[in-house]
């Protein structure tokens, strides 16, 4: 199991007696004597030994950085307590097995007591499980407690994996720096029985209470994701491909309708320069200035220069309007759509409709001008 995944399992209790029996194995050859073999037969007690459970978890956020990324880490103080009894009226053997949440992790200040006595030195650690074997007297009651401190990433999760009746169960999960408004739960996790704010009102306390219940769902919390370096830049760059396609289509169409010489070549040059500006946005935002600084110092000035050059290609109102639309789609659209992920399609559709409307206006103006030219030319041609 990954050390970052804190999936805490329930205590496993095995109560049984071992009986030595002699097994007689007859030989197929009747001239040979039978073979006697001794073996151990285990007789488990199937009754439920759990009487009550009280678990207290305190989880504080402690973000960690690996490379350039931040992860939602946390520190926990865990206290688990079980009241058990021997449901059989005869002496039995007992194995207590407590699964640790991760095999490759650090556990500090660990403590294990049974009826108030320290039993941690007697426990064995095997396959990320603390195990204790002992004898049980008839109807003997046990008070078993384990506590430790540890760390994890992303979420903490507790589950009763055995198919059994859950009796008098109470788990309290205290989150001193995570308010109710930011709560989230892992998959297959039940909602708490009760949620109360902490005394400081900066966090909350989740209470999971069960009695005479059967459930395969877990209990826990998932930490909110942290903002990552370059997250804004990545979101904006994700929209620049659509912006670039719109810009190239508008440039090529408008310049062709305006009958500008070398319209395709000019469109390719402006498209390459725009792509270069977007590339610089990604490079310098990671290395030096961040997203806002790079946008203000590099992207906006470069596209302003391109828009100014665009107005020099030819004269007329259409070219000036094209330069303005170039700035809107080149700067405003990717920034707004990238930072407002819920409305990305809306912004794309608005830009597409605006672009189609602009090209329709340019085409209509071009056809109107041509019609006026033909009207003026016809009277001149008739007298001849």
Residue 178 has pLDDT above 60, yes or no: yes
Q: What is the mean pLDDT of residues 296-303?
A: 87
Q: What is the mean pLDDT of residues 264-282?
A: 87
Of 204, 185, 203, 181, which is closest to residue 194 (Cα–Cα)? 204
If one counts every other C-beta atom within 10 angstroms of the C-beta of residue 117, the result is 9
Of 10, 9, 91, 88, which is closest to residue 48 (Cα–Cα)? 88
Sign of CA dihedral 174, 175, 181, 186: negative
pLDDT of 2: 42
Q: pLDDT, tens digit, for every residue of 208-239?
A: 999 999 988 899 898 888 776 667 788 888 88
Q: What is the mean pLDDT of residues 351-371?
A: 84
> In whole angstroms, what separates CA 208 from the centre of its chain?
24
Question: Tokens 């009277």 map to which residue?
Answer: 379
CATH architecture of 6-18+35-222: Sandwich (2.60)
pLDDT of 123: 93
What percentage of the chain reaches a pLDDT higher than 90? 30
What number of CA atoms fall less than 13 Å from residue 257's CA on the CB side? Answer: 23
Q: pLDDT, tens digit, for every residue of 313-329?
A: 887 788 888 889 888 98
Sign of CA dihedral 28, 29, 30, 36: negative
Angstrom distance (rounded) from CA 255 to CA 247: 12
| Coil vs helix vs strand at 130 | strand
Residue 288 has pLDDT above 90, yes or no: no
Domain boundaries, the chain: 6-18+35-222, 231-372
Question: Rg of the chain's alpha carbons, rounded to an integer?
Answer: 37
What is the DSSP track for 35-103? Answer: EEEEEEEEEE--S--EEEEEEEEEEEE--EEETTEEE-EEEEEEEEEEEEE--SSS-EEEEEEEE-S-S
């Amino acid at each position: 199991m990954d050390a970052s995944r804190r999936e805490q399992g329930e205590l496993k209790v095995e109560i049984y007696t071992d009986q030595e029996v002699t097994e007689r194995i007859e030989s197929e050859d009747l001239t040979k004597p039978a073979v006697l073999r001794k073996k151990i037969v285990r007789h488990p007690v199937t009754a439920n030994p759990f009487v009550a459970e009280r678990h207290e978890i305190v989880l504080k956020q402690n973000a960690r950085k690996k490379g350039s990324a931040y992860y939602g880490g946390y520190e926990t103080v865990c206290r688990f307590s079980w009241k058990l009894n021997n449901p059989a009226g005869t002496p039995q053997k007992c194995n207590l097995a407590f699964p640790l949440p991760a095999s490759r992790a650090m556990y500090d200040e660990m403590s294990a007591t049974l009826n108030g006595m320290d039993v941690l030195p007697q426990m064995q650690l095997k396959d990320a499980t603390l195990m204790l074997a002992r004898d049980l007297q008839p109807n003997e009651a046990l008070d078993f407690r384990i506590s430790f401190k540890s760390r994890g990433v992303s979420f903490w999760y507790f589950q009763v994996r055995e198919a059994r009746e859950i009796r008098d169960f109470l788990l309290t999960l205290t989150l001193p720096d995570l308010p109710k408004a930011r709560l989230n739960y892992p998959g297959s996790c039940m909602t708490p029985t009760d949620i109360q704010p902490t005394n400081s009102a900066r966090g909350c306390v989740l209470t999971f209470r069960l009695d005479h219940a059967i459930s395969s769902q877990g209990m826990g919390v998932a930490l909110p994701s942290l903002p990552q370096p370059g997250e804004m830049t990545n979101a904006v760059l994700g929209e620049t491909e659509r912006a670039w396609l719109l810009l190239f289509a508008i440039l090529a169409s408008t310049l062709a309708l305006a009958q500008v010489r070398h319209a395709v070549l000019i469109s390719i040059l402006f498209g390459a320069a725009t792509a270069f500006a977007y590339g610089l946005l990604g490079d310098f935002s990671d290395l030096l200035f961040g997203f806002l600084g790079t946008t203000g110092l590099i992207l906006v000035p470069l596209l302003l220069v391109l828009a100014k050059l665009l107005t020099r290609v030819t004269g007329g109102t259409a070219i000036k309007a094209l330069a303005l639309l170039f700035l809107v789609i080149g700067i405003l659209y990717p920034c707004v759509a990238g930072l407002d992920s819920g409305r990305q399609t809306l912004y794309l559709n608005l830009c597409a409709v605006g672009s189609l409307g602009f090209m329709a206006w340019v085409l209509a103006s071009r056809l109107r001008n041509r019609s006026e030219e033909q009207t003026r030319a016809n009277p001149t041609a008739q007298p001849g």
